[in-house]
């Protein structure tokens, strides 16, 4: 290792040894969870496919004008999963669709969890008016029908991937805020926070150096779960026609299936692949997130 010149027991080395040990412990506990491992394996495969698809599948297959197949043909020959209303391969569309779902799902989840973490930490750390207002706002957004709000936001803003990420991110943060607030409240009663205050630590110092690292594991598990619901929201918005029309997405595929009469024609091969793809990816994130949660959430650990 390159850190050989520094003494073994320097604070940094000790901290890293401890972190590695903690990580190893988390991994061992996670690996003991069969469904969590299954979710992780599925995720690795999906992410690999989504990232590498431009390398082995030409973008041409997405072109409506240069489609080679028959219109709405059932699975046969070169088209393993049949063709869509324009004669494109459903398999190719489904593989390409993974990219936008992952991109939007992960970005929106990170945005939503970031907002939720900040609001949750602030509403627990500060008392009085700040906390009251933040809690009021959180409770307000918690009960609102998030999808309807997201629909309104994406109608008001310019169409595009950024808008969808924003619309999902700013409407789905309240449950994270609740969770982080509860965790922050428990942490802030611990003596080491009092010690930090006594040594003259300001709000920023206590929040960023002591509270944040302590809530981070929980936030990580929550993010994994949030990606799943963000992907469902993304496909729903695309299905309602609010997606980016220039990219292929699973929700968009299902929308065209309904709009072009593939559903009433009973074209099951056009309906099943995108749907199963969504279910698989969401299930993978959910299983992973639940396994992480059991390992990392102190409240669930006893069980």
Interacting residues of 248 by C-beta distance below 8 A, sequence separation 6+: 62, 93, 96, 97, 100
Could you give phi then psi for residue 261, rounded to 5 degrees?
A: 85, 15
Cα angle value 256/258/259 (rounded, 5°): 60
- Give the integer Cα–Cα distance in Å for 73 and 265: 11
**73 is a contact residue toward other proteins (CB under 8 A):** no
CB of 55 to other proteins, least distance (A): 29
The least CB distance from residue 12 to other proteins, in Å, is 28
Q: CB nearer to other proteins: give 7 or 200.
A: 200
* Contact stretch for other proteins (CB under 8 A) within 6-14, 41-49, 131-139, 215-223: 131-139
Compute the CA torsion angle 111, 286, 295, 178 (nearest 10 deg).
50
Among positions 158, 199, 204, 246, the unique one binding other proteins when judged by CB under 8 A = 158
Q: Tokens for 230, please give them.
A: 């963000």
Binding flag, residue 105, other proteins (CB under 8 A): no
Half-sphere exposure (CA, 13 Å, Cβ side) for 109?
24
How far, in Å, CA of 45 to CA of 37, rounded? 12
Residues 228-257 that bind other proteins (CB under 8 A): 228, 232, 235-236, 239-242, 251, 254, 257
Give 135 or 212: the residue with its C-beta nearer to other proteins: 135
- CB-nearer residue toward other proteins: 58 or 194: 194
Contact (CB, 8 A) for 171 and 157: no
DSSP 206: I
Decide if residue 115 touches other proteins (CB under 8 A).
no
- Smallest CA-to-CA distance from 156 within 166, 144, 142, 141 is with 166
Does 151 engage in binding with other proteins (CB under 8 A)? yes
And the tokens for 190? Answer: 């611990």
Closest separation between CB of residue 284 and other proteins, Å? Answer: 9
- Of 223, 240, 230, 242, residue with least CA distance to 296: 223
Q: Is 271 in the site for other proteins (CB under 8 A)?
A: yes
Q: Is 142 in the site for other proteins (CB under 8 A)?
A: yes
Among 7, 11, 77, 145, binds other proteins (CB under 8 A): 145
CA distance 187 to 179: 13
Total of chain residues touching other proteins, rule CB under 8 A = 61
| Residue 269 binding other proteins, by CB under 8 A | no
CB of 154 to other proteins, least distance (A): 9
Please report, as residue ranges, which positions from 187 to 226 form the binding site for other proteins (by CB under 8 A): 188-189, 193-194, 197, 203
The only residue of 15, 22, 51, 144 in contact with other proteins, by rule CB under 8 A: 144
303 in contact with other proteins (CB under 8 A): yes
Sign of the dihedral through C-alpha 193, 30, 234, 95: positive
Q: In this structure, what token pair is assigned to residue 27?
A: 């991994």
List residues bridging with 83 in a β-sheet.
89
- Cβ of residue 237: shortest distance to other proteins, in angstroms? 10
Provide the binding-site residues for other proteins, judged by CB under 8 A: 124-127, 135-137, 139-140, 142-149, 151-153, 155-158, 182, 185-186, 188-189, 193-194, 197, 203, 228, 232, 235-236, 239-242, 251, 254, 257-258, 263-266, 268, 271-272, 274-275, 278-279, 282-283, 286-287, 303
């Amino acid at each position: 290792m390159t850190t050989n010149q520094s003494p073994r027991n320097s604070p940094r080395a000790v901290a890293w040894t401890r972190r590695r040990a903690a990580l190893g412990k988390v991994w061992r506990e996670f690996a003991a969870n069969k469904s969590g491992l299954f979710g992780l394996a599925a995720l690795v495969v999906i992410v690999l496919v989504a990232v590498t698809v431009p390398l082995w599948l030409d973008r041409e297959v997405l072109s409506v004008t240069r489609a080679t197949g028959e219109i709405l043909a059932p699975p046969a020959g070169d088209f393993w999963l049949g063709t869509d209303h324009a004669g494109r391969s459903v398999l190719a569309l489904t593989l390409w669709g993974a990219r936008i779902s992952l991109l939007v799902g992960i970005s929106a989840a990170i945005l939503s969890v970031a907002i939720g973490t900040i609001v949750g930490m602030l509403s627990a750390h500060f008392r009085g008016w700040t906390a009251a207002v933040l809690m009021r706002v959180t409770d307000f957004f918690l009960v609102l029908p998030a999808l309807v709000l997201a629909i309104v936001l994406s109608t008001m803003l310019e169409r595009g991937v950024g808008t969808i990420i924003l619309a999902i991110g700013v409407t789905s943060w309240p449950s994270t805020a609740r969770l982080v607030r509860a965790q922050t409240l428990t942490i802030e009663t611990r003596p080491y926070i009092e010690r930090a205050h006594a040594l003259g630590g300001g709000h920023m110092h206590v929040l960023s150096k002591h509270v944040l690292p302590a809530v981070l594991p929980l936030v990580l598990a929550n993010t994994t779960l949030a990606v799943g619901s963000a992907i469902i929201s993304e496909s729903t918005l695309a299905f309602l026609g609010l997606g980016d029309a220039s990219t292929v997405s699973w929700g968009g595929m299902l929308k065209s299936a309904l709009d072009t009469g593939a559903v009433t024609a009973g074209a099951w091969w056009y309906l099943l692949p995108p749907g199963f793809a969504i279910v698989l990816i969401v299930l993978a994130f959910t299983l992973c997130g639940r396994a992480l949660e059991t390992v990392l959430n102190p409240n669930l650990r006893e069980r």
